[in-house]
Amino acid sequence: MSINYAEKIPNNVELGSNRTLQRALEQWQPAFLNWWKELGPTDFQANDVYLRTAISVDAKGWAHYDYVKMPEYRWGIFLADPEHDRRVGFGDEFGKPVWQQVPGEHRSALRRLIVTQGDTEPASVEQQRLLGHTAPSLYDLRNLFQVNVEEGRHLWAMVYLLHAYFGRDGREEAEELLARHSGDADNPRILATFNEPIRDWLSFFMFTFFTDRDGKFQLKSFAESSFDPFARTCKFMLTEEAHHMFVGDTGIARVVRRTLEVMSETGSDDPDTVRHAGAVDLPTLQRYLNFWFSSSLDLFGADASSNAAQYFATGIKGRPDEKKFADHLAAGTSFDLEIPDGSLGTRVDTIPMRNAMNEVVRNAYVDDCMKGLTHWNRILEAAGHAYRFTLPSTRFRRGIGSWANIPTDPAGNRITQEAYDAQLGSWLPSDDDRAFVGSLMQRVTEPGKMAGWIAPPDKGVKDRPVDYEYVRVV
Ligand SMILES: [Fe+2]
Ligand SMILES: [Fe+2]
């Protein structure tokens, strides 16, 4: 299916054949553009940015690269091609044909999942809106904007589903998606992580690594959904999402490389010496990592969850890569959950597998996060340094589930509240850390030049050199 660019809203869903839906979306479009201008990137809206735009949903060559002014980006509606005779892949309806319309009994649950996913997309754009001021290079500036316009497109993807399949309620929800704002005291975004400020580029890289990766696992679970238009929408979103995590993974790797250079130049790994030389010391990186990883863990929901069981049983939300599992019913099996017990102990609670689905997805996410740590630790190892990054335990600093508000150290050992309060400041970025990182954030706009705290990337974007003028600043 090719994408129709002649229409106001590019799409591969034959929008032109449904006038009512087309008109409703064309009415939402100016509201979206207003939101983009008011709460999207604060700088460079009038500049040419070298961006990719989706032009097909083919695995090969789905994107076109060229200079675009961000407000003129072609945000559109693209669903992965339908699968012939697709069947429900898990739960009680296993093997029956998938749904092309929303079954009445699953309407509110599906709407809730789509709205919650949709809410995260514009939220992250709002969180990142000031970063253009302080981009460490034109290459990074361009990557930030690429992520931003694609999160805008992901909002479009969810709004399409709301308009097309949920009638009046859906249209109201679509308006609400532009009315809630990240960090707003009265009308915040739905999930806590998406109300955390992102004031510096270290936070941006951690966010794209850890929080966009939560998005990846949610989308992979939704790509299994029996509601076929939802599954196809999320499947294509994953294609774009991969780049966001690449930005995080390579961004942190480049910070580590630069820090190692400074450590070797100064002959010291003392954090103060590293800071004086204008780089981020490794323990500060670890504290940022602790913050964003633990915050992102809560996005998966409670470890024991009757909602998760219901989503799986009814076929509306599966497990990532459901095909890899042998048992798609997960009906008579169980899951051992380690939960807090007594004053400082733990015990194992055996719960039905379906109730543990959030934990199953969270564990898959943790394994995926470990790959990034292995990558960064290999850079440290190759440079002959003994320092290693560690991933905190999933018990650490949790706000949701059995471990919510249970004091543990980053390794997951239970400790007293007093010990926790006394040490938390050393495990998370302090005001001083944030002020120091903030002081490094200086805008660099000469093509190919990098700020002093980050190494250049290995290569540029889409066969362009690193010193390409990714954003035309004049
Ligand atoms: Fe997204
Ligand atoms: Fe993303």
363 within some domain = yes
**pLDDT level of residue 369 (50, 70, 90 thresholds):** very high
pLDDT digits (tens, 9 = 90+) for 195-216: 999 999 999 999 999 999 999 9
Which of the four pLDDT bands, split at 50, 70 and 90, describes residue 5?
A: low
Give the number of the ligand closest to the Cα of residue 219: 1
- The answer to whether 296 and 214 have CB atoms below 8 angstroms apart is yes
Tell me, in angstroms, the distance from the centre of ligand 2 to residue 177's CA: 17
Ligand closest to Cα of 237 equals: 1
Q: What is the pLDDT of residues 160-199, one digit of tens each?
A: 999 999 999 999 999 999 999 999 999 999 999 999 999 9
CA–centroid distance, residue 276 to ligand 2 (Å): 34
The reported pLDDT for the residue numbered 281 is: 98
| Nearest ligand by distance to the CA of 212 | 2
pLDDT for the residue numbered 2: 56
Find the ligand nearest to 246 CA: 2
| Centroid of ligand 1 to alpha carbon of 447 (angstroms) | 28
Q: Are 75 and 121 in contact (CB under 8 A)?
A: no
What spacing in Å lies between the alpha carbon of 103 and ligand 1's midpoint? Answer: 26
Q: Is residue 253 part of a domain?
A: yes
The Cα–Cα gap between 402 and 340 comes to: 7
State the ligand closest to the CA atom of 120.
Answer: 1
Q: Residue 45 Cα, ligand 1 centroid: separation in angstroms?
A: 20
How large a percentage of the chain has pLDDT more than 90? 94
pLDDT (tens digit per residue) in 224-255? 999 999 999 999 999 999 999 999 999 999 99
- Residue 269 φ/ψ, nearest 5 degrees: -110, 15
Going from the Cα of 407 to the center of ligand 2, the distance in angstroms, rounded, reads: 31
CA 154 to ligand 1 center in whole angstroms: 5
Give dist(CA 68, CA 71) in Å, integer.
8
Look at residue 392 in the predicted model and tell me its pLDDT. Answer: 98
Q: Is residue 464 part of a domain?
A: no
Cα separation of 349 and 335, whole Å? 8
Give, in order, the Cα–Cα distances in Å from 448 to each of 140, 147, 474.
10, 20, 16
**What is the 345 CA–ligand 2 centroid distance (Å)?**
38
Taking the CA of 158 as reference, the closest ligand is: 1
Comparing C-alpha atoms, which of 468, 57, 439, 376 is closest to residue 234? 57
The pLDDT confidence band at residue 84, using thresholds 50, 70 and 90, is very high
List, for residues 282-297, the tens digit of each pLDDT value. 999 999 999 999 999 9
Q: Is residue 466 part of a domain?
A: no
pLDDT at 6 over 70: no
Q: If you measure from the C-alpha of residue 380 to the centroid of ligand 2, how many angstroms do you get, rounded to a whole number? A: 27
In-domain check, residue 472? no
Question: From the CA of 117, which ligand is nearest?
Answer: 1
CA–CA distance, 158 with 153 (Å, rounded to integer): 9
Report CA(408)–ligand 2 centroid distance (Å).
Answer: 30
Long-range contacts of the stretch 186-193 (C-beta < 8 A, 24+): 189/119, 189/120, 189/123, 189/126, 190/115, 190/116, 190/119, 190/120, 191/116, 191/119, 191/120, 191/123, 191/298, 191/299, 192/295, 192/298, 192/399, 193/295, 193/296, 193/298, 193/299
- 109: CATH: 1.10.620.20
- 206 CA to centre of ligand 2 in angstroms: 12
Ligand at shortest distance from the CA of 218: 1
Q: Is 273 a member of any domain? A: yes
Return the HEC string of the chain.
CECECCCCCCECCCHHHCHHHHHHHHHHHHHHHHHHHHHCCCCCCCCEEEEEEECECCCCCCEEEEEEEHHHCCCCECCCCCCCCCECCCCCCCCCECECCCCHHHHHHHHHHHHHHHHHHHHHHHHCCCHHHHCCCHHHHHHHHHHHHHHHHHHHHHHHHHHHHCHHHHHHHHHHHHHCCCCCCCCCCCCHHHHCCCCCHHHHHHHHHHHHHHHHHHHHHHCCCCEHHHHHHHHHHHHHHHHHHHHHHHHHHHHHHHHHHHHHHHCCCCHHHHHHCCCCCHHHHHHHHHHHHHHHHHHHCCCCCHHHHHHHHHCCCCCCCHHHCCCCCCCCCEEEEEEEECCCEEEEEEEEHHHHHHHHHHHHHHHHHHHHHHHHHHHHHHCCCCCCCCCCCCCCCECCCCCECCCECCCCCECCHHHHHHHHHHHCCCHHHHHHHHHHCCCCCCCCCCCCCCCCCCCCCCCCCCCCCCECCC
The pTM for the full model equals 0.96
> From the CA of 122, how far away is ligand 1's center (Å)?
9
pLDDT-derived band at 24, boundaries 50, 70, 90: very high
Has residue 1 got a pLDDT over 60? no
Q: Tell me whether residue 473 is in a domain.
A: no
Give the distance (Å) from ligand 1 centre to CA of residue 245: 11
Per-residue model confidence (pLDDT) at position 55: 77
Distance from residue 88's CA to the centre of ligand 1 (Å): 25
Q: Distance from the CA of 248 to the center of ligand 1, in angstroms?
A: 14
pLDDT, mean of residues 126-145: 97
Position of tokens 């990532």?
Answer: 320
> How far, in Å, is the centroid of ligand 2 from the Cα of 145?
12
Block residue for tokens 């929008």: 15
Count of beta carbons in the 10 Å neighbourhood of residue 409: 17
User: Which amino acid does the sequence have at 71?
Assistant: P
Ligand nearest to the Cα of 248, by number = 2
User: Across residues 456-471, what is the average pLDDT?
Assistant: 97
Report CA(78)–ligand 1 centroid distance (Å).
Answer: 14
Backbone CA torsion sign across 350, 353, 355, 357: positive
What range does the domain containing 121 cover?
15-440
Task: List b or e across 89-106, with b for residues whose CB sees 16 or more CB atoms inside 10 angstroms.
Answer: bbbebeeeebbeebeeeb
- The pLDDT assigned to 3 comes to 59
pLDDT at residue 60, rounded to an integer: 76
Number of the ligand closest to the Cα of 144:
2
Ligand 1 centroid to residue 386 C-alpha, Å: 36
Task: Find the mean pLDDT for residues 265-276.
Answer: 97
Separation of CA 350 and ligand 2 centre (Å) = 35
Report how far ligand 1's centroid is from the alpha carbon of 420 (Å). Answer: 34
Q: Quote the ligand 2 centre to 275 CA distance (angstroms).
A: 31
Domain count, the chain: 1
Give the pLDDT score at 63: 87
From residue 341, give the alpha-carbon distance in Å to each of 337, 392, 413, 414. Answer: 12, 20, 12, 10
pLDDT tens for 371-381 read: 999 999 999 99
Distance 215 CA to ligand 2 centre (A): 7
Residue 75 pLDDT: 93
The Å distance, Cα 27 to ligand 2 centre, comes to: 25
- 128 C-alpha to center of ligand 2: Å? 12
Asked if the structure places residue 461 within a domain, the reply is: no
Question: Do the Cβ atoms of 9 and 25 come closer than 8 Å?
Answer: yes
